Amino acid sequence: MREVAVIGVGLTKVGHLFSESLRSLFSRAIRGALEDAGNPKIEALYVGNMSAGQFNNQENIAALLSDFAGLNGIPATRIEEGCGSGAAAIYNGYKAVASGVHDFVVVGGVEKMMDTTANDATSIISTVTDQEYEAFLGLSLVGINAMVMRLYMNTFNVDREPFAKFSVQMHENASKNPYAQFPFKISLDKAMNSNPVADPIHLMDCAPLGDGAAALVLCPKEYAKDFTSKPVEIIGAGHGMDNFIFHTRDDFLSLKAIRDAAREAYRMAGITPDEVDVVELHDAFSITAFLSIEDLGFVEKGAAGQLVDEGLIGLDGTLSVNPSGGLKARGHPIGATGVYQMAEIVLQLRGEAGARQVPGAEIGLTNNISGFGASSYVHILRV
């Protein structure tokens, strides 16, 4: 297996981008990544996308996006794994380079979610959970998260305030991110008293709908120095799975898929959780963030709130969490989220994150999940 590095990053701002199409967003991100990488000759394209068929009435998008990104004639593959589609595309691109099948690949993620109504978008997103047994009976993704959040609060004697503080920190970080959908700060009072969505989840516990695209260029580490003075190596990669149907799981307060993916990534990287400086994790809801912090091994079960309360997740904290603003404030264009996460870590490790730069960051981790932890990808990077 060859060592793999990221040599190029391209991003679009996340938002309600009504003047953009699926293809124009993706093409802009690809052009940015190729320019950043010094325009190597690309041999394959991997596209993370959840649901262009329902959001945009367009399938066969790997071929479409390859054409419009100017990458005609190379193998192009669309990867769909729900909310984890972006990280799944990275995982496949990584394996293609590590195995020697390809030398230079582009991994992109894109979602155009705002060209439909909010009700239709919510219905489309719900397809990442079981439709035959759970959704049929009225259990939505937010409903699952709400039940787990209530169970977590009761089990560990935690009130809503630490969850609200997490959202405040995400907006603080996003206020420094030019790519963020919501680049502004919010008060604790606003987070605590935002409209209820599904008790105990409030609006400020939830990631928004949004459009966006992100892209990366991957190549063997041995070639990277020919194209950039700041290659960032992918030193660990893990993929974990759990029961798809939520109510069949053994433990509702722990995401097995994250634990398994993290264990494999840490083993491959040869590090422990306390060596990670910065993490981009999947905070589609604030409870998902708490479970992720714990299942990635950063704190014990039930202790994520204490980490937040003590102010240890900020840009200068002992563990900087989501300096981009996370899904909550950077935005969550679903198929692109995993790629946005890795792009942020690459910028952090290259020291190019501007006002949101984590001081001295050398090792970063990304965690992208699908549904409520049906699958999970963990990637670890080092400068």
Q: Which residues are catalytic?
A: 83, 332
Give alpha helix (H) positions in 157-301: 161-174, 188-192, 221-224, 256-269, 286-295
Looking up tokens 């193998």 gives 75
Q: Catalogue the E-assigned strands of the chain.
A: 4-11, 44-48, 76-79, 105-111, 196-198, 201-202, 212-220, 232-241, 278-280, 320-321, 363-370, 375-382
Are the C-beta atoms of residues 187 and 168 closer than 8 Å to each other?
yes
- Residue 168 CB contacts under 8 Å (≥ 6 apart), including other chains: 185, 186, 187, 188, 191
Please tell me the distance from the alpha carbon of residue 294 to that of residue 255, in angstroms, as a whole number.
9
C-alpha to C-alpha distance for 97 and 234, rounded to whole angstroms: 11
- Interatomic CA distance for residues 222 and 269, integer angstroms: 18
